[in-house]
Amino acid sequence: MKYLKYIVLSLCLFKLLTGCEQDLDVYSGGSSIYFSMEDDDTLTYSWGIVDSDVEEAVLNLRVNLFGKVTDYPRKFTIRVFTEFPDSVRAEEGVHYKEFPLEYEMPPMADHVDIPITLLRDKDQDVSYFEIFLEENEEFDFGYMRWMQPEDSLGNLLTPYMYDEHRVIKQDEKFPKPSWWGTMEDYVGEWSEVKGITMCDVMEIDRKMFQLPLDSDGALTYAKVRFISIQMAEYFYYNPTLDENGVEIEMGEMAYY
C-alpha cells in the first residue's frame, strides 16, 4: 500500500511538471527600441535656472529595449532633424556638440543612454532640434505609443508614433519662485531680469533660488529680506532695465 502511494505521488508530480512546461508562455517575437516612456516627446532644458557661468550641460536620452536581451551587442542608429524656422533652429556647434549617429545596445542590457552635450547660446532665447531612432534588422518599432492628435474643431488628424523621436528644446526661461508673492513687500514686482540679477550679484545658486523658503538647502525668509535690502542699494547705483524696458526697483520694505 505504501508502494502504491509512492507511485501515485510520482505520477502527480510528473503531471504537474509537464503541465507547467506546456503552459509556460515564452516570448519569441522580435526586439523593439523606443525612447523612455517616462518622458514627454519634447524635453526642455531651461538654462535660466543654471548659473550664468555654466556653458555646457549633458542630457541623457534613454533608449529602452522591448524583447529578449542578448549576450552580444546590437547596433542601432539615430538621425538628427533641424528643419525648424530660422529663428528657433538649433545648430551643431552652437546649441549642441556633434555626437555619434550609431550606438549599441550592450549585452544582457535592456536600455542604453545617449549623451547629448548641450551648449548655451545667450543670444537666442529658444532653440529646437529633434532626434529620431531608426529601424534595422535587429530592432523594429513594434512596441511604441501612438498619439491621436485633433484639430481645433475636434476632428481627428493622422496618428503618429510618440516614442521613436524626441524634440530637444533649450531656452533661457527663469521661472518666478513659488515664494515670491509672500515676500513681495521686500522683493517687489517679479521680472526675470531682476531674479537673475539677484542671483548673480548675491552669488545665489539659481536652483536653490527656486526652492520653497526654509526647506532643505533653500533660502530663508530672513535671508530674502537681507538680499532685498542689498539689491535695493545695488539697483540705486546700477540702474537696470527689465525685459519690458522698465527700470527695476525692489519692494517698499527693502528701502527701510
Q: For 128-166, how does the pLDDT look when each residue is reduced to its tens digit (9 = 90+)?
A: 999 999 999 999 998 888 878 888 888 888 888 888 999
| 20 in a structural domain | no
85 and 43 together in one domain: yes
Count Cβ atoms below 10 Å from residue 21 Cβ, excluding itself: 8
For residue 11, what pLDDT is reported? 38
Task: Tell me the average pLDDT of the chain.
Answer: 87
CATH of the domain at 126: 2.60.40.2030
3-state secondary structure of 3: helix
The residue among 153, 171, 189 that closes a domain is 171
The structure's pTM equals 0.72
Averaged pLDDT for residues 78-98: 96
75 and 145 together in one domain: yes
Structural domain that includes position 135: 31-171
> For the chain, give me the number of helices (H) and strands (E)?
5, 11
Asked if residue 15 has pLDDT above 60, the reply is: no
Asked if residue 4 has pLDDT above 70, the reply is: no
For residue 45, what pLDDT is reported? 93
| 58 in a structural domain | yes
For residue 158, what pLDDT is reported? 87
Query: Based on the number of CB atoms within 10 Å of its own CB, is 219 exposed (0-12), middle (13-18) or buried (19 or more)?
Result: buried
How confident is residue 89, by pLDDT bands cut at 50, 70 and 90? Answer: very high
134 and 235 together in one domain: no
The residue among 142, 171, 200 that closes a domain is 171
For residue 29, what pLDDT is reported? 60
136 and 108 together in one domain: yes
How far is 11 from 3, CA to CA, in rounded Å? Answer: 13
The distance from CA 234 to its chain's CA centroid, rounded to whole angstroms, is 36
The residue among 115, 143, 171 that closes a domain is 171
Query: Among 23-27, 115-119, 165-169, which stretch is predicted with the lowest mean pLDDT?
Result: 23-27
Domains identified in the chain, total number: 2
Asked if residue 74 has pLDDT above 60, the reply is: yes
For residue 156, what pLDDT is reported? 87
| 77 in a structural domain | yes
Q: For 232-251, how does the pLDDT look when each residue is reduced to its tens digit (9 = 90+)?
A: 999 999 999 999 999 999 99
Q: For 189-232, how does the pLDDT look when each residue is reduced to its tens digit (9 = 90+)?
A: 999 999 999 999 999 999 999 999 998 889 999 999 999 999 99
| 18 in a structural domain | no
237 and 199 together in one domain: yes
154 and 198 together in one domain: no
